Amino acid sequence: MEENTAKLMFSSKTDLWATPQYFFDKLNQEFKFTLDPCSDGRNNKCSKFYTSEDDGLSCDWAGEIVFMNPPYGRAIGAWVKKAYEEGLKENTKVVALIPSRTETRYWHNYVLSAREIRFVKGRIKFGDSPHNAPFPSAVVVFDGKSKPSLGVISAKEDE
């Protein structure tokens, strides 16, 4: 791994991890997303999106099928809570791509109440990085239904 890339990936200098298009496309084929609430304005995955200026945490996601790849910094717990709460609304589904940090409070408070948890097999290469992420990931589906099911989804483009 290039030294500068390693320093950035293992630091807290960024909390933005752009979703690879092939990974999004795989999920979008299944879910048909209508909203990306965590865009930087250039990396949006849906035609309807919110940037930090819009403050997706304060917006209403009701009636949407949401793809959420939140900032992975200290605010991630607030984003996961928002995904859980919005997923309780009628005709609303939130699919979140998050680090698989099963020891965290947000994981126990919200993720374990999700409809579905898919652990990503392998590590995702976020953005334009030539290297895999230094953490495992999970795709979590919030849609107001209670019994979670566990699954696996590949981080590789051809699986």
Distance of CA 31 to the CA centre of its chain: 14
Helix or strand (DSSP H, E) at 78 = helix 76-87
Q: How confident is the model over 99-133, as pLDDT tens digits?
A: 999 999 999 999 999 999 999 999 998 887 888 88
Tell me the two tokens of residue 118. 């898919």
Q: Would you state the structure tokens that stand for residue 34, as one six-digit string?
A: 């209508």
Say how far apart CA 117 and CA 148 lie, in whole Å.
Answer: 7
pTM over 0.85: no
Q: What are the pLDDT digits (tens) for 63-86?
A: 999 999 999 889 999 999 999 999
Displacement of CA 127 from its chain's centroid (Å): 14
Percent of all residues in the chain with a pLDDT value above 90, rounded to a whole number = 66
User: Domains of the chain by range and CATH?
Assistant: 19-154 (3.40.50.150)
Lowest mean pLDDT among 5-19, 51-65, 69-83, 143-157: 5-19
